[in-house]
């Protein structure tokens, strides 16, 4: 069982930010440190998730740059890049570091620019995202990420009878949740017709089946659970699973489910000593509506093939049996790639503290974060629990 | 004290490779696995160092791509990017993972293309390397890495009387060592006049004071030292230090030494329970001749200001008091960025096993690897020891 805690959490609004990367990240990291009640001298290591700033801004080796801006120079710091799962793999290593006693306090976070500050058009930015696809087998045939998840979802539809209307219900739900999240990129509600009438991007995905390009940053402060005892409002990390899957997708073992997430979920539940029925809510990687369907199935909330009808039936909506993406998810909250993983953990922390206001999940004692990278090739699943 | 071991090591020749990144990496990883006597099913995690392939080849999320090519899909894998120290921070986390009992066998390595395969000119590639400089403060003023280390070296010359001839002796020595290394990018010897008469790149550095752009890959197989007992020829990792320094360099605490490496060396020696006098040889990050001078001073082999005369006096040459860069170093062996850190560990492993042939360091019982990233902002120092 993992024995770590989050003692502080912070994030920026997701949307459009024209500040520099160190400024953007500071707007999440300093609130996280303040929330924990620690200062830069208390931080013993810093792990940073960032996916694409080499490509968008000719900016690499970003960890020490962020550290120096925050007054954290000197301590060990490094950048993790695992596409959309970048800050989750950073978090996994922070948990290992506090559990092994290597460090007492680790700052973990992510930041990304994908909009105006990059100076890139949507096609250019789509190519940047596409860098996570297989360089030799997928990129040359134009396999962008909408196409990738569209292929998986088409198979899901063919095998299980999943419909476009059911997929749309995922987007409608997440926009509803996002309308209650002041930090969401999209704060407006939409309906099924809005989704189905929006332009087709990659069949079966319409524009409103897809998450946006966002800028943003997020951060959490991690300690061992024992060390956390002296802090005000810690939330415990009780399980982590991390697994990968074959790329390119052409040779994956299955195309209607995400094996990396299935394996990672099994590992995370075993680590936490729980099963899917114990989970009260989840933040999942809904880069596309079809991805949320496969996420709730990978997490064992529903049998494979039943994830879409669950959304359509309202089971994953706030007030439903097990709310999914109460933050609005990537779909409505936004998706600043490297910031997404720790942003899920910020939402879990606040929900488990009972601090989520209008979108608070009732009885939130056990939450799960499901973060994926690339062509469903990386998955990190984290189980967090409120302190009794 | 760190209790890990390297049970297998492999690397490609450094130079020009037109193979794809997965092919290139496999040419190091498979020999490393063979050397250890393990197969893909034995490997429990894979940590990959790669610095620039996003920028050179629109290729990110590279860890699962390498893993799938090697038949390692499924297990946790991730990419570390810390500029020229990328595979060393990956290695540090592998050591943590085997020490904490999280994994028994971890494959760690790095690979990089910086030459023909990128399709980039030298100025274009210089800009790619420059992405590791501070985005807001250094890149806009044209602060490339030759310029960066030239500034530090100029201060060293002004303060300590270090001369261009002494700097040249570092290059001459490393080419001599490289002439005995069949995997070196440059296998020819040079003399002081060759260096001083080569074109000026960034005063005081001539072309032959600078390491080349290289392609290449390297890998090591890491276990706990206890687990290593059942393998044929393990070499122990007894200390690791990792530290960072302020970027941009304009606000560093000193400009004639590298604080990140000084701090990391102190930590590594304390971890290993040794002092600099116990070290028989070292592989250091000689991206420029001046960088090797500051490296041997940071490692405590010489007082600050005395590193250059030590090279000129032959103390760091094979046969001298404490050989430095018996492989040829970045200068002659080559510098495929993400592969450089673990390549140093491959050299240490072979030297400590007594397998280095013509360039074997006599009495090599304790070796140190010194790997830096960016504008002297990241440093990882590793102490390795032969088994009695």
ipTM above 0.95, yes or no: yes
Contact residues on chain A for B102, CB-CB shorter than 8 A: 96
What CA dihedral angle connects A325, A330, A335 and A341, to 10 degrees? 40
| Cα–Cα distance, B372 to B85 (Å, whole number) | 5
Give mean pLDDT, residues A40-58: 97
Residue A388 has pLDDT above 90, yes or no: no
Distance from the Cα of B129 to chain A's closest Cα (Å) equals 9
A61 to B132: CB separation less than 8 angstroms, yes or no: yes
The fraction of chain A above a pLDDT of 90, given in percent, is 98
Give mean pLDDT, residues B96-106: 95
How many Cβ atoms sit within 10 Å of the Cβ of residue B19? 16
What is the residue-averaged pLDDT of chain B? 97
How many Cβ atoms sit within 10 Å of the Cβ of residue B164? 19
A63 to B82: CB separation less than 8 angstroms, yes or no: yes
A55 to B54: CB separation less than 8 angstroms, yes or no: yes
| Cα–Cα distance, B54 to B127 (Å, whole number) | 13
Mutate which: A247, A252, A373, vs B, most B CBs within 10 A: A247
- Find residue B223's DSSP bridge partners: B5
Contact residues on chain B for A271, CB-CB shorter than 8 A: none
Give mean pLDDT, residues B240-256: 95
CB–CB of B346/B235 below 8 Å? no
Q: Is the peptide bond before B248 cis (omega within 30 degrees of 0)?
A: yes
- Find residue B107's DSSP bridge partners: B46, B221
Main-chain dihedrals φ then ψ at residue A206, nearest 5 degrees: -90, 170
Give mean pLDDT, residues B173-184: 98
Give mean pLDDT, residues A232-255: 96
Beta strands in chain B (DSSP E): 4-11, 45-49, 77-81, 106-112, 200-202, 205-206, 216-224, 235-244, 281-283, 366-373, 378-385
Cα B301 off chain centre by: 18
CB–CB of B73/B103 below 8 Å? no
Cα B28 off chain centre by: 15
Per residue in A265-284, pLDDT tens? 999 999 999 999 999 999 99
Contact residues on chain A for B100, CB-CB shorter than 8 A: 96, 99-100
Task: Name residue, tokens 């524009």.
Answer: A207
Give mean pLDDT, residues A91-120: 96
Contact residues on chain A for B22, CB-CB shorter than 8 A: 136
Give mean pLDDT, residues B110-136: 95
Residue B1 has pLDDT above 90, yes or no: no
| Cα–Cα distance, A17 to A21 (Å, whole number) | 9
Nearest by CB to residue A64, choosing from B52, B136, B374, is B374
Mutate which: B20, B24, B61, vs A, most A CBs within 10 A: B61
**pTM over the 0.90 mark:** yes
Chain A: residue nearest B373 by CA?
A61
Task: Name residue, tokens 């000026």.
Answer: B200
Give mean pLDDT, residues B104-116: 97
Task: Name residue, tokens 């500051």.
Answer: B294
Residue A316 has pLDDT above 90, yes or no: yes
B378 to A61: CB separation less than 8 angstroms, yes or no: yes
What is the residue-averaged pLDDT of chain A? 97
B82 to A61: CB separation less than 8 angstroms, yes or no: yes
The H or E element that residue A145 is part of is: helix A145-160
Catalytically annotated residues of A: 84, 335
Mutate which: A23, A76, A287, A375, vs B, most B CBs within 10 A: A76
Residue from B128, B149, B150 nearest B139 by CA: B128
Distance from the Cα of B79 to chain A's closest Cα (Å) equals 6
| Cα–Cα distance, A39 to B147 (Å, whole number) | 35
Nearest by CB to residue A97, choosing from B20, B96, B131, is B96
Contact residues on chain A for B79, CB-CB shorter than 8 A: 80-82
| Cα–Cα distance, A322 to B95 (Å, whole number) | 39
Catalytically annotated residues of B: 84, 335
Q: What is the pLDDT of residue B35?
A: 98
Contact residues on chain A for B376, CB-CB shorter than 8 A: none
Q: What is the pLDDT of residue A285?
A: 98
Nearest by CB to residue B132, choosing from A60, A75, A76, is A60
| Cα–Cα distance, B217 to B111 (Å, whole number) | 4
∠ Cα A277 A280 A284 (to 5°):
100
Nearest by CB to residue A83, choosing from B61, B75, B377, is B61
Which two three-digit tokens encode residue B3? 């209790």
């Amino acid at each position: 069982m993992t024995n770590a805690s989050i003692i502080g959490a912070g994030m920026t609004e997701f949307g459009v930010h024209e500040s520099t990367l160190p400024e953007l990240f500071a707007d999440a990291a300093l609130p996280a440190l303040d929330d924990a009640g620690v200062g830069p001298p208390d931080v013993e290591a810093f792990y940073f998730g960032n996916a694409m700033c080499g490509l968008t801004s000719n900016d690499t080796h970003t960890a020490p740059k962020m550290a120096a801006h925050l007054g954290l120079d000197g301590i060990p710091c490094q950048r993790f890049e695992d596409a959309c799962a970048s800050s989750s793999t950073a978090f996994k290593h922070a948990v290992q570091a506090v559990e092994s006693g290597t460090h007492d306090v680790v700052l973990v976070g992510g930041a990304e620019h994908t909009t105006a500050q990059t100076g890139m058009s949507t096609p250019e930015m789509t190519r940047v995202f596409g860098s996570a696809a297989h360089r030799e087998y997928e990129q040359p045939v134009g396999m962008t990420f909408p196409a990738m998840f569209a292929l998986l979802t088409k198979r899901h539809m063919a095998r299980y009878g999943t419909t476009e209307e059911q997929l749309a219900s995922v987007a409608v739900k997440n926009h509803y949740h996002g309308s209650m999240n002041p930090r969401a990129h999209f704060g407006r509600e939409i309906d099924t017709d809005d989704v189905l009438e929006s332009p087709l991007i990659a069949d079966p995905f319409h524009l409103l089946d897809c998450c946006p390009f966002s800028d943003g940053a997020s951060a959490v402060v991690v300690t061992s659970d024992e060390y956390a005892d002296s802090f005000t409002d810690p939330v415990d990390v009780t399980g982590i699973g991390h697994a990968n899957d074959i790329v390119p997708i052409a040779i994956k073992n299955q195309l209607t489910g995400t094996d990396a997430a299935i394996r990672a979920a099994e590992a995370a539940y075993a680590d936490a000593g729980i099963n899917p029925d114990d989970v009260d809510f989840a933040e999942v990687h809904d880069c596309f509506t079809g991805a949320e369907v496969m996420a709730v199935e990978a997490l064992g909330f529903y049998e494979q093939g039943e994830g879409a009808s669950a959304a359509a039936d309202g089971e994953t909506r706030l007030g439903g049996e097990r709310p999914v993406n109460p933050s609005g998810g990537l779909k409505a909250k936004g998706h600043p790639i490297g910031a997404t993983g720790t942003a899920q953990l910020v939402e879990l922390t606040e929900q488990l503290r009972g601090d989520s206001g209008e979108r608070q999940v009732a009885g939130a004692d056990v939450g799960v974060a499901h973060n994926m990278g690339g062509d469903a090739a990386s998955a990190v699943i984290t189980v967090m629990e409120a302190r009794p």
